[in-house]
Structure 1
Amino acid sequence: MYSRSENWIGVNGLIRSSELQNMDLIDLLSERHTLVRRMAENVWNDQSDLSISNSEWSIMARIYKKQPTISHVTKNVDISRQAIHKFLKNLSAKGLVEINNVENNKKEKCVQLTALGEECYEKNMNLKAQLENKIAETIGMEQVNKLKELLQLDWDIEKIRS
C-alpha cells in the first residue's frame, strides 16, 4: 500500500506521478488521456442512473446536433464498425439515439440524438468543464490554456509517418 505522499494519479493500476518522469510524449499523452477519460466516465456514472461508456460518449460527440449516416460515424470514430453498431444499438435501447432511414437510399441509415440524448450530452459537457476547472486549480489556468493551445496546433503528423 502506498501513502498519499507518493502521489498516485489514479486507481485500478494507473501509475504514480513519479513514474511519469521517465515516459516519452506518446506514453504521457496516453496515460493522461486514460486518466481524465476514466474520471469523466466515473463522475457521470456516479451521478446518473443511465450508465454511458467512453466509447458511447465518443459516438454521441460525433452526432451531437447533426444527423450523420452510420457509415460517416464509422469512418470518424476510432472504433470498429461492428462495435459501433453494437454501441448504437445500446444507445438506442437507452433512449439516447434514434436511427432512421436515409431518404432515397435503402441501404444507408442516419443517426441522431434524442432529446434525452442531447440533455445527457450537455450535462456531461458541464461535468467535463468542472473537471477541467479542477485541473486548472491544480496546475493553473495559464498552464491549461497553454496545453490546449499546444494540442490544437497542427502537428503535421502525416509527414512524420513517411
Structure 2
Amino acid sequence: MEDNNLDIKFLLLEKLNLIEELSFIEAKKHEFETNDIVTATRIITLIQNGIVTPSLLGKKLNISRQAIHKSINNLCEKGYLCLDDETSNKKNKQINITKKGNELLVCRKEVMNKVENTIKKNIGQEEFTKLKELLSKKWD
C-alpha cells in the first residue's frame, strides 16, 4: 500500500510510534523506565513551560481532575515532581520539577536530538526543515 492512500492521522501516528520506539531505546540507555520518557516528559515539559497547577495541567491535557491528580502523585512518588502550597493561596498546589525530573528532561532532549538526526539522515535537511515548518503552522 502506498503512503498516498493513507489518511493524515494514520501517517502521523505511524511516525509518532517510530519516535517513541527510538525514545524507549534511549531511555533504557539512561536507565529511565521506558514509560517515563514518553508519558512523564509530556507532563514535566508542560510544567517547565509554565503550567504549574493540577487544574491547568488537566485542562491542557484534556484529562479529568482525578486522572491528572493520579498522574502527578505517581510522578511525585517516582521523584520527578513535588507539590508545594501556592504562596498566594495555600489551598492551591503548585507543581515543581525535582532534580530527577530535570535529569529526565535532559534525557528527553538528548533523545529528541538523536531522533531528529535520524529523521534528517533519512529525508535530508531541507525536507526536515520543511516538515518542522508545516507542523509548526496553526491548524485550527
Provide the TM-score with structure 2 as the length reference.
Answer: 0.85
Bigger relative CO (Cα 8 Å, ≥ 6 apart): 2
Give the number of the structure whose alpha-carbon radius of gyration is greater: 1
Structure 1, unaligned runs of 5 or more: 1-17, 158-162
- CA distance in structure 1 between the aligned counterparts of 2:32 and 2:120, rounded to whole angstroms: 28
Q: What is the root-mean-square deviation of aligned Cα atoms in Å? A: 2.0
Are 1:70 and 1:111, in contact at CA under 8 Å, matched by a contact in 2? yes
Matched, 1:31 2:14: yes
The match for 2:25 is: 43
Are 1:66 and 1:112, in contact at CA under 8 Å, matched by a contact in 2? no
- In structure 2, give the amino acid aligned to 1:26: K
Cα gap change, 1:53/1:125 in structure 2, threshold over 3 Å: closer, same or farther? Answer: closer
Kindly indicate which of the two structures has a greater share of residues assigned to helix.
2
Give the drift of 1:127.
1.4
- In structure 2, give the amino acid aligned to 1:148: K
Matched residues, number: 138
- CA distance in structure 2 between the aligned counterparts of 1:81 and 1:44, rounded to whole angstroms: 31
Give the drift of 1:49.
3.1
Are 2:85 and 2:93, in contact at CA under 8 Å, matched by a contact in 1? yes
The match for 2:45 is: 61
Cα gap change, 1:66/1:115 in structure 2, threshold over 3 Å: closer, same or farther? Answer: farther
Structure 2, unaligned runs of 5 or more: none
Higher mean alpha-carbon deviation, 102-111 vs 55-64, is at 102-111
User: What whole-Å deviation, never above 9, does each CA across 1:11-54 have from its counterpart, x for those lacking one?
Assistant: xxxxxxx45342112221222223313431x1243213331152
Are 2:81 and 2:95, in contact at CA under 8 Å, matched by a contact in 1? yes
